[in-house]
Amino acid sequence: MPADLKSIRILMPSHFNAHAAARIEAEFDAVTIDDPDPARIPTEKLAGIRGIAAGLGPSWIPVIDALPPLEIVANFGVGYDPESSLHAIDKGVCVTHTPTVLDEEVADTALALLLNTVREFWFAEKWLRDGKWEKEGNYPLTGLSLRDRQVGIYGLGRIGKAIARRVEAFGLSVSYHNRSRAADVDYPYYETLEGLASAVDTLICVVPGTPETHHTVNAAILRALGPSGVLVNIGRGTVVDESALVAALRDGVIAAAGLDVFEDEPHVPAELAAMKNVCLLPHVGSASQHTRRLMADLVVDNLVSWFSKGEALTAVPEAKSASLAKRKNG
Ligand code: NAP
Ligand code: 8YV
């Protein structure tokens, strides 16, 4: 007998992705909150919540704790906050994310970020828009180029491989560092990040933000990358020690950086924003209507699958290894 999804209460933020919100409202009993603070959420809103759809962060932990019948958290995004997600898994809650559907979009963004960083297209366009082409002549030749660069990918997973395919198509070499060698590619593998950084002049980071990756791109790695080095970070801001990066860019330890993610979003250090040898994007890796709709559908499809078939479509690896099967709920 098909599950009566309309009787199942799902909590989501009031500013959630519009397509996901519309589907959750149509298919479930949707409850919205402005702020994940149980003290400010009326008790009747929290009663009987069995699923959360959100981009979970540490501030959600008290909400998770306040929801005893909670069965599933469907994260909006492939990257997930380890603290709150693992907290939920420890309590027997299934946690899902949105892998694969965004790989090509994020890889496109990574290449755009790299090209803009070395060829200064944003500054060149500004030159035109400011009328300088007519008044002052050509935009100066860029000191950096993509030509002859050796690209290292830190995190050759789903998105890393999509980036690698593009890098190859641009006629450049690819090598990588993961904790373990990837079975399905034959790019040169480096057992350490420092080994990779020493071997290349362009480092693209696309690892998850975990305690293990925190500040792994530090002063030593930037020194290893060297004075013609370019750093691109499209993974998570916590992976790069931002203070060390500011110093390295200022002192010529590396040449330039392209960043889509930051340590304390949406705060971006003023020193970075004032530099010309950086390209800064406001975490837009997957931010097209096309791809966000695919991610939104996967969030809701996970909820539908869980409550109608008893299994999630794309549980995070930690939930899979905890073998979380659907709990009987009364
Ligand atoms: P994935 O398929 O799981 O790939 C992650 C890769 O990182 C794997 O190859 C993994 O290899 C490696 N890795 C993990 N921990 C590591 C460690 N401690 N040291 C070295 N390598 C490590 O994930 P994905 O789907 O490609 O996504 C990657 C990340 O991109 C997400 O977690 C998210 O944070 C970020 N992202 C950002 C945006 C954006 O808008 N900027 C959009 C989407 C995703 P091993 O397991 O062998 O180490
Ligand atoms: C989103 C991301 O920007 O999927 C991820 O890990 O970083 C991006 O696709 C994020 O999920 C917030 O919407």
- pLDDT, residue 43, reads 86
In whole angstroms, give the CA distance from residue 263 to residue 274.
17
Which one is predicted more confidently, 2 or 91? 91
Percent of the chain with pLDDT over 70: 97
Omega before 266 within 30 of 0, i.e. cis: yes
Reported as a pLDDT band with limits 50, 70 and 90, residue 321 is confident
Q: What are the chain's domains?
A: 3-101+289-321 (3.40.50.720), 103-280 (3.40.50.720)
Residue 206 Cα, ligand 1 centroid: separation in angstroms? 5
23-55: per-residue pLDDT in tens? 999 999 999 999 888 888 888 888 999 999 999
Residue 163, both tokens: 């980036």
* Backbone φ and ψ of 93, nearest 5°: -90, 135
Is it the case that residue 323 has pLDDT exceeding 80? no
Distances (CA, A) of 32 to 50, 55, 74, 220, 268: 13, 14, 15, 46, 30
The atom of ligand 2 lying closest to the CA of 291 is: 9
- pLDDT, residue 1, reads 44
To test ligand 1's pocket by mutation, which of 96, 179, 194, 261 has the most ligand atoms within 8 angstroms of CB?
179
pTM score: 0.97
What is the longest distance spanned by two Cα atoms in the chain?
75
Which residues carry out catalysis?
A: 236, 265, 283
Q: Helices (H) and strands (E) in the chain — how many of each? A: 14, 11
- Do the Cβ atoms of 52 and 73 come closer than 8 Å? yes
Which one is predicted more confidently, 9 or 330? 9
Tell me the ligand closest to 209's alpha carbon: 1
